[in-house]
Structure 1
Amino acid sequence: MYIAQAFKGLHEWWRYIIGILAVFMAVLLGQIPFTIAVFIKAISKGDSILGMNEADLMTLLEPNLNLFLMLLSFAAGLVGLFIVAKYLHKQTIVSLTTAREKIDWKRFWFAFILWGFVSTSFIFIDYFLSPEDYVLNFKLVPFIILCLIAIILIPLQTSFEEYLFRGYLMQGMGVITKTKWIPLITTSVVFGLLHIANPEVKQLGYIVMVYYVGTGLFLGIATLMDEGLELALGFHAANNLFTALLVTADWTALQTHSVFKDISLPGAAGFMDVFMPVFVVFPIVLFVFSKKYNWTNWKEKLFGTVEAPQIETENITNN
Structure 2
Amino acid sequence: MASQAGPPNGPNEPPHDPAQDPRNQPPQPGYGTPPMPQGQQLPGDGPGFWSPQQPPPWTGQPPQQPYQLPPYPQQPPPYPQQQPPYGQQPYPQQSPYGQPPYGQQPYGSVPYNMRPPEPRQVPAPPGTPFHQLARNVRHKWWRPLLGTLMLAAIAFVLTAGLFVVWTIVHGAITGDVPESQGDNLFPNDLENLASTLVMLGILTPVVAFTAWLIQRRPPWSVASVLNRIRWKWLLLACLPGLGYLALSYLLGTLVELVFPTADPVQTDDGAWVGFAAFIGPALLILLLVPFQSAAEEFVFRGWLVQTIGAYAPRSDARNAVTRVLWRVLRTPWPALVVSSALFVSAHGYTGWAMADIFLFAMTVGWLTVRTGGIEAAIALHALNNLLAFMLPAATGQLDGWADQGGAPWTLLLTDIPCLAFFAVSVVWLAKRRRVATVSQ
TM-score, normalisation: structure 2: 0.53
Give the corresponding residue for 1:273: 411
Among 190, 193, 198, which residue is 1:72 paired with?
A: 198
Contact kept in structure 1, 2:293 and 2:382, CA below 8 Å: yes
Q: Which has the higher contact order (CA 8 A, sep 6+)?
A: 1
Give the corresponding residue for 2:311: 176
Residue 167 (structure 1) aligned with residue 302 (structure 2):
yes
Distance 1:126 1:281, change over 3 A: closer
Distance 1:32 1:267, change over 3 A: closer
Give the corresponding residue for 2:32: none
Once residues 106 and 123 of structure 1 are traced to their aligned partners in structure 2, the CA distance between those partners, rounded to angstroms, is: 27
The CA deviation string for residues 122-177 of structure 1, in whole angstroms up to 9 with x for no partner, is: 459879989x9522243434433323322232111111111111111111211213
Residue 238 (structure 1) aligned with residue 383 (structure 2):
yes
Contact kept in structure 1, 2:241 and 2:383, CA below 8 Å: yes
Among 346, 350, 354, which residue is 1:194 paired with?
A: 346
1:127-146 matches, cutoff 5 A? 133-146=268-281
> How far is the alpha carbon of 1:3 from its aligned partner?
2.2
Structure 1, gaps ≥5 residues long: 249-256, 296-300, 312-319
Give the corresponding residue for 1:108: 234
Contact kept in structure 1, 2:240 and 2:425, CA below 8 Å: no
What amino acid is aligned across from residue 155 of structure 2 in structure 1? Answer: V
What amino acid is aligned across from residue 272 of structure 1 in structure 2? Answer: T
Distance 1:18 1:102, change over 3 A: closer
What SS class does the counterpart of residue 163 from structure 1 fall into? helix
Residue 2 (structure 1) aligned with residue 147 (structure 2):
no
Give the corresponding residue for 1:85: 211
What SS class does the counterpart of residue 394 from structure 2 fall into? coil
TM-score, normalisation: structure 1: 0.71
Once residues 292 and 275 of structure 2 are traced to their aligned partners in structure 1, the CA distance between those partners, rounded to angstroms, is: 25
1:11-22 matches, cutoff 5 A? 11-22=139-150
Give the corresponding residue for 2:62: none
Give the corresponding residue for 1:226: 371
Aligned residues, how many?
271
> How far is the alpha carbon of 1:102 from its aligned partner?
5.0
The CA deviation string for residues 17-74 of structure 1, in whole angstroms up to 9 with x for no partner, is: 2222222233323255447749x99xx79x975xx643xx26x522221111111221
Give the corresponding residue for 2:35: none
> How far is the alpha carbon of 1:231 from its aligned partner?
0.8
Report the more deviating stretch, 233-242 or 1-10: 1-10
Contact kept in structure 2, 1:9 and 1:90, CA below 8 Å: no
* RMSD of aligned Cα (Å): 3.8
Contact kept in structure 2, 1:82 and 1:93, CA below 8 Å: yes
1:50-65 matches, cutoff 5 A? 53-54=182-183, 57=184, 61-65=187-191
Distance 1:158 1:101, change over 3 A: closer
What amino acid is aligned across from residue 199 of structure 2 in structure 1? Answer: S
Q: Which has the higher helix share?
A: 1
Aligned-residue sequence identity (percent) comes to: 19
Structure 2, gaps ≥5 residues long: 1-128, 258-266, 313-328
Contact kept in structure 2, 1:64 and 1:145, CA below 8 Å: no
Larger-Rg structure: 2
Give the corresponding residue for 1:98: 224
Contact kept in structure 1, 2:353 and 2:405, CA below 8 Å: no
What amino acid is aligned across from residue 13 of structure 1 in structure 2? Answer: W
Residue 151 (structure 1) aligned with residue 286 (structure 2):
yes
